Amino acid sequence: MQLFKPGYYRFDILILLTYQMNHFFGVQQLFPIFLNHTPKTVCQGERCYYVPKNKCMECPDCPDLCANATTPAAKAECVNKYSFAYYKSAAMEFNIYCKPGWKDFRPAFAQYFGVLVGNIILGWVADQIGRRKTYLLSLFIGIPALALSASFDSIPLFYLLRAITGIGIAGTQVVGWAYFSELVSSHQRFKLRTFSNWANGRIMLTLVCLFAGEWRLSSYLSAAISCIKLCVVMFILPESHIWLRKKGRFAESEECRKRIAKISGVEFEPKLRKRLV
């Protein structure tokens, strides 16, 4: 007994799920919220204090919140209370807000610069060499950069790799919609916009960060999860048959349609060239 009966809906479901994974990687645009996080209180040794408004966690003049804890047990309890952080961010680890030059140059700036570069270039590239090739190129740029950005202790390397990640994000967002909307059945494109959405991607990223508890593991997990859609696109999905037709590559377009029919478990019905619009 087949779990899914033959029909193009099979392929459409695959596209809907893969496009949702596309949003999961794209929502890395919001990951700087977690990268920039600073707690309300911090402890240096047995001295605890509120983090100042400038978010610099080095504050020798800030009042000690544990000054009245005189016994070792009370001091330990106080330090444990005020040193707790829900999430360990890159800003906390690198102490970015205390470093001249870096405190005004946030990870978000570096990443969005990469997004800008990718937006300018990769849309044009997709029209020239194909949706699938450009999409895969974006993933091969973005996923390794995302993982490597959490692998070094150098702030310049961290910023550089977040910028490269931004290029990959731009490619998946700009090219992703064109690619997946051209593959999905025309009557399912509205569902592609509604059921596979940015909000779901934000929830997924938040859950990853909640589970990981710190920015390095969050980056590794996000890169690993994003490899799922990389494998789907690389080994299962064909090139956009619509793009191929527009380029006059009718035989290749029909081969892609054959592959879609095979995945769907239906008999392939070739189209006459005069009907190809």
Torsion on CA atoms 110, 126, 143, 158, rounded to nearest 10: -20
pLDDT at 276 > cutoff 80: no
Nearest-CA neighbor of 171 among 104, 217, 121, 103? 121
Quick one: pLDDT at residue 192?
A: 86
Q: Over 80: is that where the pLDDT of 84 sits?
A: yes
Q: Hey, is 20 helix, strand or coil?
A: helix
pLDDT band per the 50, 70, 90 thresholds, residue 272: low
Indicate if 130 and 183 belong to the same structural domain.
Answer: yes
In order of 166, 168, 219, 248, the CA distances from 144 in angstroms are: 12, 10, 10, 34
Residue 21 carries which side chain, given as an amino acid letter?
M
Q: Are residues 49 and 164 in the same domain?
A: no
Q: Are residues 189 and 165 in the same domain?
A: yes
Please give the structure tokens belonging to residue 148: 């490597």
- In this prediction, residues 75-84 reach a mean pLDDT of 93
Q: How confident is the model at residue 2 (pLDDT cuts 50, 70, 90)?
A: low
> Which are the contacts of 149, defined by CB distance < 8 A and separation ≥ 6?
157, 158, 161, 162, 165, 219
> 57 and 111 share a domain?
no
142 and 187 in a single domain? The answer is yes
Structural domain range at position 73: 41-84
Give, rounded to a whole angstrom, the gap between the first and last alpha carbons of the chain. Answer: 38
Q: How far is Cα 142 from Cα 120, in angstroms, rounded to an integer?
A: 16
Pair 143, 166: CB distance under 8 Å: no
For the entire predicted model, the pTM comes to: 0.90
DSSP one-letter string for 56-89: -S--TTSPPTTTT--SHHHHHHHHHHHS--S-B-
Helix or strand run (H / E) with residue 165: helix 155-183
* 153 & 180 share domain: yes
3-state DSSP assignment of residue 204: helix
pLDDT top residue among 100 and 255: 255
Q: What is the reported pLDDT for 243? A: 96
| Closest alpha carbon to 22 in 261, 237, 216, 213 | 237
Residues 223, 112: one domain? yes
- CA 20 vs. chain centroid, Å, equals 11
Tens digits of residue pLDDT in 186-244: 888 888 888 889 999 999 999 999 999 999 999 999 999 999 999 999 999 999 999 99
Token pair listed for 189 = 């494109």
Specify if 50 maps to a domain. Answer: yes
Looking at residue 104, its pLDDT comes to 80
Please state the rounded mean pLDDT for residues 163-190.
Answer: 93
Q: pLDDT (tens digit, 9 = 90+) per residue, 88-145? A: 999 999 999 998 888 788 889 999 999 999 999 999 999 999 999 999 999 999 999 9
Count of domains forming the chain: 2
Q: What is the pLDDT of residue 244?
A: 96
Is 28 within a domain? yes
Same-domain check for residues 75 and 17 = no
Model confidence at 157: pLDDT above 90: yes
Same domain membership, residue 121 and residue 70: no
Determine the Cα–Cα distance for residues 214 and 92; give it in Å rounded to an integer. Answer: 10
Q: Is residue 47 located within the same domain as residue 24?
A: no
